[in-house]
Chain A
């Protein structure tokens, strides 16, 4: 291929204009908007196709409107801080490229649904964390602690490998239609968190967790909508994990 060698533009990424429609709110209110009222605001930014939505949000915050509020920490898809609803799907802003979103149209950015909004794209995560605490996300054992590591085989580890990937971004829980309407539901993430310990061969608290998930607001509220599996930025098969918990409860086998 000689064409690539002759072309001087190889590797050059063209800049383009992108419009972001952001659902905003301010707890203190402003002249035009009441405290806590949600309203749409559009921003134009110059960006590259390889930029992420987070880069565009940074440009807005740093160059246009410093009052725009959103969470982000590592900016590389590991910490799970910047889950938001982008073009009506829950995604991590730091893992979503602008070119994958049809930048010709305005890109719609909203806070994740089902949790109380505090400001702009920031929601109160406390109900989400409270559900996670309910299922006791820590190793539970009996007897005295061994003087060396608790060993397990690669097969035993493989059993719950998928659910160890969770970064607690809340993309799954806030994409769940049952969670939107019913604040009592644990939500997919808490069940994923429980799955990680229930199917761990070193843990002995599995029936305690299963009893909690057998409760009214537990796994039986799941209607296998598969929104959570689609939303998970880590590719965890969330609905499958919930079904495995249901299976353990109906058959009594883990």
Chain B
């Protein structure tokens, strides 16, 4: 009886064992998982504090207008706070979306298209949002003074 006879059907192939020692280098998927685990709790703190400062302190929701935002962004703390919130939220959400696309888009071209659209959206929003935060002018020259924060009177 030889293995080449027509009735011979080989069983499923099992991998050759090869024993290595030492740890495994973290791959892209592992970094993605670590990023989600780290950015998640940071975002919870950032967003809850943001909501508390905006809605619970002072006059609550009725205080939010152009002057309030301009006053906040006059301080570097809140500029950095909002920038971090923007960047982490977009990257965390974008990475989650990427995993969903991997799960549900089975055609290669569709996956590529959706990943591309997602990347453009994430980078675009981060760039536009950062521009607003860092190049923000709290006292536009031709605006009504009553709508602007109080420190604008000294600037004029």
Question: Measuring CB to CB, which residues of chain A are less than 8 angstroms from any residue of chain B?
Answer: 129-130, 133-134, 136, 138, 140-142, 178, 181-182, 204-205, 207-208, 210-211, 214-216, 218, 220-221, 223, 246, 249-250, 252
Which residues of the other chain, A, contact B102 by a CB distance below 8 angstroms? 182
Closest B-chain residue to A253, C-beta based?
B23
On whether the beta carbons of B21 and A182 are closer than 8 Å, the reply is: no
- A240 to B22 alpha-carbon distance, docked (Å): 24
Please give the distance in Å from B30's CB to the nearest CB on chain A.
Answer: 6
B interface majority secondary structure: loop
Residue of A133, A136, A208 near B12 (CB, 8 A) is: A133
> Is the Cβ of B33 less than 8 Å from the Cβ of A136?
no
**What 0/1 readout, one digit per residue, does chain B (14-26) give for beta carbons within 8 Å of chain A?**
1101111111101
Other contacts beyond A129-B12, A210-B23, A223-B99: 11, CB < 8 A? A133-B14, A136-B15, A136-B17, A142-B19, A178-B103, A208-B17, A211-B20, A214-B29, A215-B29, A220-B33, A250-B34
Q: A133-B14, A182-B102, A220-B33 are in contact. Are A249 and B19 (CB under 8 A)?
A: no
Indicate if B104 sits at the interface (CB-CB under 8 A). yes
Find the residue from A134, A210, A249 having the highest chain B CB count within 10 A. A249
Tally the A-B contacts, defined by beta carbons under 8 Å.
62
Measured CB to CB, the nearest residue on chain B to A251 is B23
Alpha-carbon distance between A136 and B19 when the two chains are bound, in angstroms: 11
Residues of chain B within 8 A of A249, CB atoms compared = 24, 26, 30
**In the complex, how many angstroms separate the beta carbon of A247 from the nearest chain B beta carbon?**
11
Is the beta-carbon distance between A182 and B20 smaller than 8 angstroms? no
The answer to whether residues A252 and B23 also contact, given A182-B102, A182-B103, A214-B30 and a CB cut-off of 8 A, is: yes
Contact partner, A140, options B19, B29, B33, B99, Cβ 8 Å = B19
Which chain A residues border B19 with CB–CB below 8 Å? 140-142, 204-205, 208
Task: With CB as the reference atom, state the residue of chain A lying closest to B34.
Answer: A250
Contact B20 A220 (CB under 8 A): no
